[in-house]
Amino acid sequence: MRSSGKVYLLGAGVQDRGTLTQQALNLLQQAEVLIYDALVEDDLLQYVPPHCEIIDVGKRGGKPSTPQGQINQLLVKYCQQGKRVIRLKSGDPLIFGRAREEVEALQEAHCAFEIVPGLSSALAAPALAGIPLTDKYLSGCFAVLSAHAPATLNWQALAQIDTLVLLMGGRNLPQIVEHLQNQGKFPSHPVAIIQNAGSPDQQTWVGTLADIVEKTAGVALSPCIIVVGEVVSLQNTFQSPQSSPLAGKMILVTRAADQASTFTTLLEDQGARVIEMPTLEIRPPSSWEGLDQAIAQLPQYDWLILTSANGVEFFFNRLAALNQDIRHLAGVKIAVVGKKTAKFLQQRGLQPDFIPPNFVADALIEHFPASLPGQKILFPRVETGGRTVLVEELSHQGADITEVAAYESGCPAAIDPTALVALQQGKIDVITFASSKTVRYFEQLLSEAVGSEKIPHLLENLCLASIGPQTSQTCRELFQRVDVEAAEFTLEGLTEALVNWANPEKP
């Protein structure tokens, strides 16, 4: 009798998470148990639910690893418990993996399973390095092979193939070169080695059979892909760095926990690599009483002011919880701060009556479209820690403003481990901040993790980028500097500012 559990043997692609398929992403988001290999990008772990059990089985050649039999037992055990199990493998699960043993163990235990294809590094790595595997004139065929045991291969036959793609051959490069030359390949025959394909650390060496060993002497090449063939000479033809202004930049995006980042997409579209670091936890207020009373009296208000996407979401969710809808807002005008806030409002079927220029609260006060004396204004906002200037100035100008707690924001319990390691290893080029709170909580999390005295050293060689003046002020207060500030105080504006920073020579 089959259990209700199921195991998915899932290919993660290479270390560029853009190679993850949509099917793979959907399954990761539903995982109850994740069992993953050493070459899988840690960044992918952010997609699994908080309740998912994560098990690192770390299989990498030449290093201690979990025995295959133990991995098989884990898959069977969790499947028989009725769990949705993701067996996450780098590349494609059926190319030079141990999928057969795992499938046979699952079949023997009558466990349901499914193969989810992924993009193999054999295909992705050459493409990411600008090397085509086929060409009308230079390569009519290619072969993919494992080179961890060169002595067992038929080099006479392999030497006749136009293009060779060798996996797991980094430690055996001298033997590979020797075998190919012994079978008639000229010393001038092109070779490329692509290490850490798709990661910020990707590196490519291009040479010939005569000099590639010398060019990589002293380098620990694993993990790498070796490409042998005339197509290597086409590398420059297929590279266009001008099309990706943030190519090669690793950007740490501070954001709210459990919120998808539109900003990440904007940056990746410009060629950047992104690590997302949760620095805010958004949660309900300590009490709904104030907001509930305001909603009961909505028809009495002239204006509703919403200054954040969180304010929109929590206000309208509470409206629905009280069995009300947008009709309850008839006669109430709505002012919002920022394009993102306006977009979230539009998704609720409403158009804002007023959006101030510059997308900051100060501009709302300066350009408010109605005479303020006597105006009754409802302002649902964060419970603690928000700026008071809006309430103070509107009140000073004669408005009758009611501020109520619609949500609360706080600092996560601990820093994201992937972000911390990237900072400590010097892999980050830019840190972005979209609010003063993300700056403050980032500093708090980093201080708790490494000690405040080490922060200046960790940040000294990277760019601090801010969405606007208030956020910049907090950066200067805590870090004594800000390097980039958006001219337009939006995520799009911050993206443009970073593109200009990375390409200062362009008009």
**Percent with pLDDT over 90 in the chain:** 66
Rounded average pLDDT over 224-240: 89
What is the predicted pLDDT for the residue at 257? 67
| Euclidean distance between CA atoms 475 and 470, whole angstroms | 9
**Is residue 191 within 8 Å of residue 208, measured between CB atoms?**
yes
Interatomic CA distance for residues 301 and 377, integer angstroms: 6
Q: Are 231 and 255 in contact (CB under 8 A)?
A: no
Instruction: Give the angle 416-341-259 at the CA atoms, nearest 5°.
Output: 25
DSSP structural state of residue 63: S
Helix (H, G, I), strand (E, B) or coil at 279: strand
In DSSP notation, 1-35 reads ---S-EEEEEE-BSSSGGGS-HHHHHHHTT-SEEE
Task: Tell me the backbone φ, ψ of residue 260, rounded to 5 degrees.
Answer: -65, 145
- Cα 20 to chain centroid distance, Å, stands at 12
Q: For 138-150, what is the mean pLDDT? A: 95
DSSP helix/strand/coil, 371: coil
Spatial contact of 162 and 142, defined as CB atoms under 8 Å apart: yes
pLDDT confidence of residue 308: 87
Domains of the chain are 6-119 (3.40.1010.10), 123-239 (3.30.950.10), 250-281+412-502 (3.40.50.10090), 283-410 (3.40.50.10090)
Q: In this predicted structure, what is the pLDDT of residue 242?
A: 52
For residue 360, name the pLDDT band (cuts at 50, 70, 90): low
| CA distance linking residue 442 with residue 436, whole number of Å | 10
The amino acid at residue 33 is V
Return the pLDDT at 190: 96
317 and 287 in contact (C-beta within 8 Å)? Answer: no
Ordered alpha helix ranges (H), 201-299: 212-215, 262-269, 289-296
How far is it, in rounded angstroms, from Cα 269 to Cα 261? 13
Pair 224, 129: CB distance under 8 Å: no
**What six digits make up the tokens of 445?**
């999390």
Catalytic-labelled residue, pool 6, 43, 83, 168: 168
Could you report the per-residue pLDDT of 17-35, keeping only the tens digit for each?
A: 778 899 999 999 999 999 9
- Per-residue pLDDT for 209 more than 90? yes
Give yes or no for residue 1 having a pLDDT over 50: no
Strand-pair category, 400-410 with 430-433:
unpaired
Residue 228 has pLDDT above 60, yes or no: yes
pLDDT tens column, 60-80:
555 567 899 999 999 999 999
* Cβ density class 341-370: b for 16+ within 10 Å, e for less: bbebbeeeebebebbbebbbbbebbeebee
Tell me if 116 sits within 8 A of 24, measured CB to CB: yes
pLDDT at 260 over 70: no
Residue 2 pLDDT > 50: no
Enumerate the β-bridge partners of residue 142: 163
Rounded to the nearest 10°, the torsion over CA 91, 93, 99, 103 is 160
* Among 446, 441, 439, CA closest to 468: 439
> Which pLDDT score is estimated for 206?
95
Ramachandran angles phi, psi of 458, nearest 5° = -65, -30
Active-site annotation holder among 6, 16, 43, 59:
59
Q: Is 277 a catalytic residue?
A: no
Residue 285 CA to residue 314 CA, distance in Å, equals: 10
Q: Of 37, 43, 416, 429, which is the active-site residue?
A: 37
3-state secondary structure 280-349: EEEECCCCCHHHHHHHHCHHHCCEEEECCHHHHHHHHHHHHHCCCCHHHHCCCEEEECCHHHHHHHHCCC
User: SS3 for 221?
Assistant: coil
Mean pLDDT of 380-407: 89
Q: Catalytic: 483? A: no
**Model confidence pLDDT, tens digit, residues 446-482:** 999 999 999 999 999 999 999 999 999 999 999 999 9
Closest by alpha carbon to 466, among 484, 479, 478? 484
User: Each residue of 406-451: pLDDT tens digit?
Assistant: 999 899 989 988 889 889 989 899 999 999 999 999 999 999 999 9
- The single-letter code of the amino acid at 472 is S
C-alpha separations of 316 from 152, 332, 381 in Å: 67, 14, 13
Amino acid, res. 452: S
Identify the three-state secondary structure at position 139: strand
> Does the structure show a pLDDT above 90 at 272?
no
Q: What angle, 0 to 180 degrees and rounded to 10, lies between the N-to-C axes of helices 262-269 and 491-502?
A: 30
Q: How far apart are CA 309 and CA 322, in angstroms?
A: 20
